[in-house]
Structure 1
Amino acid sequence: MVKKLTRRWQLSRVRSGDGSALAEYRRWQLFSRSLFFLDLEPHVYAVDVRYLADAKTRKQHEDAVGKSPAALYRDGVQVFRSNLPAAFPVPGGVIEVATSAVGLKRMHFVPDHGGERTLRPHPRSQEGLRARFGRRFPRTSAAIGAVSLVILLVALVVGLLQGAEAVTKIPVVAEHVGTFTSPVHLPQWAKITLTVAGFFSVLERALRLRYNRLIDSVTS
């Protein structure tokens, strides 16, 4: 029920596009733009996400200043635009688009009959370069993915232990449940290292669209 209401809300925010042509992806847009494609015969759809909205874009999106605007193109022509998170209607389903603090967390085609699949990234985008690396070096790619997951799990456990210790230091809580002392106390350099490693781990997973609400929000 909640998912249906969320989908309906996202669809209600979609606006008609201005008919402009899809701009070519430039290398200098590597950290400010994501571009994905979906082949639905006889058309090719593209979703263009701009992380840094300029003044003109912000004016067009007055109800969501600071959020990343996205646009849907059909055969290179803009047909819809929306603030994020977005759900763009396409034949046979919708394209769900959402971002996290470090990148994308949703770029999926969700058919009406169920299931979903990830859109194809532009080969020169961050996501496209990561996907190409995964195809060329599958074992190394899998190892990097595993390390990223382990780092985030460690950060999650450490964060939960420290959070529990902080909560039980509150007099009212301590009076009813007692106090808890975390068995893990990291020196400052280790905390900084774990935070930095966690950030890059979240970024690496975002490039593969592997977002998990619990794990990937640890350092976001």
Structure 2
Amino acid sequence: MGIGELVGAGRTADVFALDDGRVLRRYRGGGDATGEVAVMAYLAERGYPVPAVWPGVAAGELVMQRLSGVTMVEALANGVITAERAGEMLAELLRRLHAIPPRLSADPGHRVLHLDFHPENVMLTPQGPMVIDWATAAEGPPGLDSAMAALILAQVAVTVPAVSVAARAVLCSLLRQLDGIDGEHLAEARRRRAGNPTLSPDEVGKLDEAVALITEAAGS
């Protein structure tokens, strides 16, 4: 397996090209990708739009189908997709995900949760949208996943002035498509987000403002 150029980098991992239409995703901190591979394979078997995936050589690696297209963020910036449609698409993908039974949990109310669901983790490909980056996937109540998705959008809206208007518009569209955001789930999403070691002090410090924005947008 010949590792090629760096083609992407996130907060915790780097992505390298391989020579056969695939990419290698490698955690910088040496985290274990075994669970991520299992979740993605499980979802793919049930028709959910995720890239094909294979285990890497080391525990902190996974080999993934190389996708063509752009992220939803890039599509928004280029005017390829409207904020309204982006919010609708996010809601559709969440509903499809939460219709799939859990892989491990015996609780009938649990589903597979992405827990880092936002426009940078949705690729718009010629075959349709594909959801990437399942490192934080877990199982639990689907309302928590929806609350986390809304909170991430709201957090971007209050911390990144350059995209604040677009993030707010996508958030409002998403909230119109959901059956509401449960207060307990939003509080749990806030708690988890505050404990995320990849967030800056400014991002953590504006979580309450982000929560307030969700409440305001949900009521408008």
Shared topology, TM-score over 0.5?
A: no
- Which of the two has greater strand per residue? 1
- Which of the two has greater helix per residue? 2
